[in-house]
Amino acid sequence: TAIFPIIIGDDLKVREICKRLHEMDIYVNPVMYPAVPKRLSRVRMSLMSAHTREHLDKALNALERVGKQYAVI
């Protein structure tokens, strides 16, 4: 699938992570209760064939940095 959920489980962290990723030019969507069960809130990424290796590397590096910042990895 082209949609990758990154389950965080905390609505506040999901909001903050999405905000921080947007500031880094990584577009993701927050998905929280009631769209998903409580404690299963997540960041949703969508990938397309138009994304280059450089796009993917940038996104992965940003996810790693933000994940460490918010203690989710």
Give pLDDT tens digits for 15-64. 999 999 999 999 999 999 999 999 999 999 999 999 999 999 999 999 99
Confidence of residue 73 (pLDDT cuts 50, 70, 90): confident
Owner of token pair 């949703």: 44
Cα gap 20→1, rounded to integer Å = 25
